Chain A
Amino acid sequence: MTGKGMITVLAGVLLAGSAAQAADLAPETPYVESLPDTSRDHWVAVGDLNPLGNADTRVMLYDADTGKMLGMMSTGYWGSLSFFPKDSKNGGTKNIVTLETYFERGTRGQRRDYAVIYDGITLLPIHEIGIAPRRMTGFTQTQMGGLSDDGQFLAVTNFTPAQSVSIVNLAGASFADEVPTAGCGQIYPAGNRRFALLCGDGAMRMLTIDDAGAVRGQTDSEPFFDPFTDPVLVQAARKGNDWFFVSMDGYIHDVDVSGDTVKLKEKWSLLSDDEREDGWRTGGIQALAIHEADNKLYALMRQGGRETYEEPCDVVWVFDLATHKRVATIDLVNTTLAINVSPDAKPILTGASFKTVLPYWSLALVSILGAKFEELDVVKPALDVYDATSGAHLRTVDHAANFATSLTQP
């Protein structure tokens, strides 16, 4: 047998084997996944502002227990906010709501803003509710919208730069109202028919709506902080009828939103005098989270001057809300910009972070070989998951977004 003949025989044997295997193999049919209809306690929505492509912002959904990406929503121009109505009246819907903006020709033409209701299983849009094309955009999208506690209404911050607030009737899938709110913008839900707004004079304004979503009243509180000497940060954490704001110098402002007028309940310091002297303060853009049942406040912390108040952090301090004492410190595996804590009995702490994707020794090596260390593109956005009780690092999801600026919990 010649060499060529041998190859032919071998090929024939191999082909015959393949055919036999193919006969046993059921052909696959491509299909579309649905979101699992299971507990969402440890799901997290990562708001991706995608700064290199503002017209294509996203919300990425992850199961933090497995690190698996579940799906995503495209939120148009400078979107990335998502809301999870805990709707008890409409049969416990798992719908997801986003705020989205589109221009007729990408970045030109007529602007249209929508509150979009997605089915929480198929992730398909159920309703695209046209809203006033004036919603505010900024680096910190947090508190630019808020759900009523019953999930029936969504309030939206507008800025042209004149300030107003829109009310969207989610249950009726309609745009309900828009009212001027000069000097007040960011939104803090305060019941089924009330939204508190943060104002530039250091006060809060309570917006009251009726069952159709029409605004029926606006009541201003007394100023409870000095917006010039020690302003509070916009992102705040909620426990029941209390919203907790932190100031640039590290003072917690606990405000009560149970009545028609917002009241300062208590002001206390996150920091000892020595810690404040050493430049400790909160950092990042989503610095506070609360676990209500455990009565704990989680604060993303860093050292530095005031100008570092939005910079990422390496540590989380955990406080007992009853005693105001620090009860734990969690060292973070990556420098982190935003945190969230799940509300369940086995809570996880999630962090939107920046991960150095090469081992440090390799950076040392390329540096020795002459590469400009600072110019190496080795830092990528990631999602870190910790046991919120023990502080143990559980997993890191690499490249969780192009740029994560918010974490939202279903």
Chain B
Amino acid sequence: MGRLDQWFETRTREIARGTSRRGFLASASALMMGAAAVPLLPVARVSAAMPTDGDATSCDYWRYCAIDGFLCGCCGGSPSSCPPGTVVSAVTWVGTCRNPNDNKDYIISYNDCCGRSSCGRCACQRDEGDMPLYRSDAANDINWCAGSTADIVYNCSTAVIMGVSTGE
């Protein structure tokens, strides 16, 4: 049993790390950067609403590459909408995620939904490009509901497509 036991220890430690990120940590934080900065970014606006092209309830969905929070898709909303009764955070930070379906980089705005207690479903934290708090342009540990009309009451996080990164 020794080797099998060791294998399971390794696996559960891995899961513990994953659990902490996706099952616990995620819930405690939110994301974002000033929305006002978005027009300054090298972004080609998407002309029409982009359909969800993956499992919006899975932390592995490509749009969530820099997310940190409960997935609104599991909480009555979607990757681009907030659940009924909540409000969209006034400010947000943006990340860049590669869509494996077309291999293009998309600018994603990780708006929080605010005004209800934490949803508690589908916690997900992926830290691609995450920076410490003082880098608020890229810090997903900040509760950005702070800028909303519901103050700091955090419910869940979205992953709204703002456009295709032109890389300029």
- Docked pose: A101 CA to B154 CA in angstroms: 14
CB under 8 Å from chain A, chain B span 126-141: 126-136, 139, 141
- Docked pose: A198 CA to B133 CA in angstroms: 10
B165 at the interface (CB under 8 A from A): no
Q: What residues of chain A lie closer than 8 Å to B27, measured between beta carbons?
A: 51-52, 403
- Chain A proximity of B35: nearest CB distance (Å): 11
Contacts A138-B139, A159-B146, A227-B131 given; 18 further ones with Cβ under 8 A?
A52-B120, A54-B153, A106-B117, A136-B146, A139-B25, A139-B28, A185-B133, A200-B134, A227-B135, A307-B126, A310-B130, A356-B16, A360-B9, A360-B12, A361-B1, A364-B8, A367-B8, A403-B25
Whether A137 and B120, one on each chain, are in contact in the complex, defined by CB atoms closer than 8 angstroms, is no
B151 at the interface (CB under 8 A from A): yes
- Docked pose: A101 CA to B145 CA in angstroms: 14
Q: What residues of chain A lie closer than 8 Å to B158, measured between beta carbons?
A: none
Interface flags, A307-320, vs B, CB<8A=1, else 0: 11111101000000
**Can you list 12 contacts pairing A with B, beta carbon distance less than 8 Å?**
A77-B152, A107-B153, A137-B143, A138-B142, A161-B34, A186-B134, A308-B127, A310-B21, A314-B13, A356-B16, A361-B4, A378-B12
Interface residues of B (CB under 8 A from A): 1, 4-6, 8-9, 11-13, 15-21, 23-29, 34, 68, 91, 115-118, 120, 123, 126-136, 139, 141-144, 146-147, 150-154
Whether B20 and A354, one on each chain, are in contact in the complex, defined by CB atoms closer than 8 angstroms, is yes
Q: What residues of chain B lie closer than 8 Å to A139, measured between beta carbons?
A: 25, 28-29, 68, 141, 143
Q: What residues of chain A lie closer than 8 Å to B24, measured between beta carbons?
A: 51, 354, 381, 403
Report if A103-B153 is in contact (Cβ < 8 Å); known contacts: A234-B134, A354-B19. yes
A160 at the interface (CB under 8 A from B): yes
- Docked pose: A313 CA to B96 CA in angstroms: 27
Whether B153 and A77, one on each chain, are in contact in the complex, defined by CB atoms closer than 8 angstroms, is yes
Whether A335 and B16, one on each chain, are in contact in the complex, defined by CB atoms closer than 8 angstroms, is yes
Whether A161 and B91, one on each chain, are in contact in the complex, defined by CB atoms closer than 8 angstroms, is yes
Q: What residues of chain A lie closer than 8 Å to B115, measured between beta carbons?
A: 107-108
A232 at the interface (CB under 8 A from B): yes
The count of residues in chain A whose C-beta lies closer than 8 Å to any C-beta of chain B is: 60
- Chain A proximity of B115: nearest CB distance (Å): 7
Q: What residues of chain B lie closer than 8 Å to A231, measured between beta carbons?
A: 131-132, 134-135
Whether A335 and B141, one on each chain, are in contact in the complex, defined by CB atoms closer than 8 angstroms, is no
- Chain B proximity of A11: nearest CB distance (Å): 51
- Chain B proximity of A109: nearest CB distance (Å): 10
Whether A200 and B136, one on each chain, are in contact in the complex, defined by CB atoms closer than 8 angstroms, is yes
Whether A335 and B151, one on each chain, are in contact in the complex, defined by CB atoms closer than 8 angstroms, is no
Whether B11 and A312, one on each chain, are in contact in the complex, defined by CB atoms closer than 8 angstroms, is no
Whether B134 and A227, one on each chain, are in contact in the complex, defined by CB atoms closer than 8 angstroms, is yes
Report if A335-B146 is in contact (Cβ < 8 Å); known contacts: A49-B28, A199-B134. no
Q: What residues of chain B lie closer than 8 Å to A159, measured between beta carbons?
A: 142, 146
What are the 4 tightest A-B residue pairs by CB atom distance, in nearest-first order? Answer: A51-B27, A139-B29, A360-B8, A139-B141
- Docked pose: A371 CA to B124 CA in angstroms: 22
